[in-house]
Homo-oligomer: A and B are copies of this chain.
């Protein structure tokens, strides 16, 4: 933490700041300059909320130096985390593909899509059983009934099941019948839910919130890890911006940004990230090319009849083409260990 005093700050004001720092058990380091004084703070174990200094007389600015996270960092664990789900992996050399409908609507729909997913060679099947919908009058998922269909899909096709939990009891059910707990964008800062997921044995797929900074997203992962569950997969699914040609703006730069800070695997969701079927394949290719560890893609056997998010679902044949394209790309664009922390050599 660095506190920059105003040019005209007097000795008394500087002393007052120094005193407040000491009251918190920290060590102040006064650094007088030509035009103004800066005061460094050391002795803190973790981050300090420096905003409290902002309104003290004579203070011009407060600058944070220490980062607020620990467990997610490469400092803690320099090699990349590989999440294992049975014999499938996310974060390793394999490109992880999670595909399926937005919501489970019927046995026939789920099976038709699951067959396409299995045939593509993907290992994970997604499908909403409880759906978070903006409107209370929109389709809210099949609940229990959807869950029975999911179990049959799992057994019949041998796919790993990824389902979103909206509340704590949902996690109990996923633990019984599913494989990966998904925390959705709207719940990225539902801290009770994060803590419950952190006490689970199952891996957690954590979607980025619609307006989450990278730091907030990583801190949400830190919440899960702080409870003991280190199997966290980050999922970039676009953020809300002023643009109107897509539902969200897919922020692919988050992938190399995370690589530079964290050991956690990160995948990309081009379906929510764009909201339109015709954009999904190009952005899936981009996601793989930027170095993501996998993709999450929505597929529906009859997108025009889908009960939710039909506009962004691919047909089985469009999906098969997507998988073919991204697999080819992956072969030449596999992220290597040396790539992420690339830096210039000093002259």
Contact = CB atoms under 8 A, between A and B. Distances in A.
Interface stretch (A115-123, A150-158, A307-315): A307-315
Given A53-B304, A252-B250, A329 B333 contact: yes
A31 interface: yes
Given A288-B289, A345-B57, A135 B47 contact: yes
Given A49-B310, A274-B253, A304-B344, A132 B191 contact: yes
A61 to B, nearest CB: 7
A219 to B, nearest CB: 5
Interface string A28-53: 01010110001010100011010111
Contact of A242 (B223, B241, B347): B241
A145 interface: no
A279 B256 CA distance: 6
A81 interface: no
Interface string A247-287: 00111111111001000000000000111111101110111
A193 to B, nearest CB: 8
A319 B111 CA distance: 48
Contacts of A216: 134
A293 interface: no
A137 B257 contact: no
User: 9 closest A-B pairs (Cβ-Cβ)?
Assistant: A51-B311, A52-B310, A211-B211, A289-B289, A286-B286, A285-B289, A186-B189, A286-B290, A167-B192
22 contacts: A20-B346, A49-B309, A51-B275, A55-B311, A166-B191, A190-B190, A210-B211, A211-B240, A213-B242, A213-B243, A215-B244, A241-B241, A241-B242, A245-B254, A246-B251, A246-B257, A249-B253, A253-B283, A277-B343, A282-B291, A304-B344, A329-B333
